[in-house]
Amino acid sequence: MPELKAEEAAAASRQQQADQVARLPGQPPVGFRQFAGYVTVNESHGRALFYWFFEAADNAAHKPLVLWLNGGPGCSSIGFGEAEELGPFLTQKGAPELRLNKQSWNKEANLLFVESPVGVGFSYTNTSSDLKNLGDKITAEDSYIFLVNWFKRFPQFKSQEFYIAGESYAGHYVPQLSEKIFDENKLASRENFINLKGFLIGNALLDDDTDQTGMIDYAWDHAVISDRVYHDVKSSCNFSEETSTDACNAALGEYYAVYDIIDMYSLYAPICVDDYSTATSTKKPRFISGVAPKLSSRHSQWHRKPSGYDPCVSSYTAVYFNRRDVQEALHANASGKIPYKWTHCSDEFDEWMDSPASILPIIRKLVDGGIRVWVFSGDTDGRIPVTSTRYTLRKLGLKTVREWTPWYDHQQVGGWTIVYDQGLTFVTVRGAGHQVPTFAPRQARQLLRSFLLDKQLPSSPF
């Protein structure tokens, strides 16, 4: 047995060395290590997920590990999460191609990004039929297998506290993966046990009924839609049902038309009007049937990609990750045989097999099981607005332990927070859009720090 363990340790060390990223094109120098590569999740089908991992900027051996997931479904955690939100390196126009993120989350934790499911970003399958069978369930199962195998490659992080974070459709991914780990841990051997402590989700799709109801109420309350459109949607749509009427579809069509001219993900941010964006964007409109919420996802505007303060930043990211020298540095698409370009959101599948209407039963189960759960919301997001999340959390029926209270970012109010029974905490981030770390990077890092320490956010100026 000692010889076998020594062999396994040596193999893990060799794999780590092979995955270590020396330096990316246009990357500023840093003092921490980074790794990228593939972890196989299904040998017989040839399914492999691509990851990018950053050790904490200091004291990595004693910092927790955070996995970040973006949603979509089908959108890249590397393109959005790492390169435009909370990773150490952010893309930008021109040279140098990357800039250092002063508020990177790897200043608080070891930080892992995964492109999931297969068909997203650099993740791939050698079995084309896999792309016709994607859904919430297989995404959680593959992500769990990924983690078990990743920890075998990086055993030095296995004993550290593990957390999962994400936004948007990761409101499905994160709780579902957490539940999978929670259930498997009851049966897992010591070797496969994952030290899950909690999860953190932002502007998260959680419940079809309240998410869509809050979306319409928020748009009317923020003067985005007219009284007539508001009345038409409210009178003709039943968001607790999966089927829709012609009247509801017509009303929602008028509602979504507004977001052709303003940014749904951040009401007060500009839209991209740069020719550069048009030249690098995909011509095919992205549409996935069968995904939650069933009524809204029938409209192509629901699948529109978000952007940040620089509304054209996704165009720069797409150019960067499609460069061959960048892919070689990341050990991505090593064979050069992935038959599609890297994109923020996959065009490789157009149907989603399973997507429950509500994630609340999972959240209730995990809160009852002692898993720390924080939910946050940028309050200028129109996609999954703060109104939706407040309606959703009210459905849980938990008692309030600490009432609606302002929290502070230095001398300014950063937002508000409320604490429910069994530790579930809801936090708003003032002035932030759908991608909170993009719009409020310092506040988002403060939020992460407080979550990891299990401490309330500052309740007075500092």
How wide is the angle at C-alpha 385 spanned by C-alphas 278 and 405, nearest 5°? 135
Residue 349 identity: F
Q: What is the number of alpha carbons within 13 Å of residue 415 lying toward its C-beta?
A: 25
Cα 106 to the chain's mean position, in Å?
16
Q: How close are the terminal C-alpha atoms of the chain, in Å?
A: 55
Interacting residues of 73 by C-beta distance below 8 A, sequence separation 6+: 117, 134, 136, 139, 169, 172, 173, 288, 291, 352, 355
Pull the structure tokens for residue 345. Answer: 């959101």
Task: Find the DSSP H helices in 79-135.
Answer: none
CA distance 137 to 268: 36
Q: Which two tokens stand for residue 387?
A: 């109104």
Q: Is 429 left (phi over 0), alpha (psi -120 to 50) or beta?
A: beta
Can you give the C-alpha Rg of the chain in angstroms? 21
Q: Give every CB contact of residue 3 below 8 A, 6+ residues apart in sequence.
A: none
Q: Could you give the CA distance from residue 143 to residue 145 in angstroms, rounded to a whole number?
A: 5
Residues marked active site are found at 168, 381, 434
Specify the length of the chain in residues: 462
Measured at the alpha carbon of residue 247, what is the angle toward residues 245 and 253, in degrees to the nearest 5? 105
Closest CA to 376 of 364, 359, 393: 393
Q: How far apart are CA 131 and CA 133, in angstroms?
A: 6
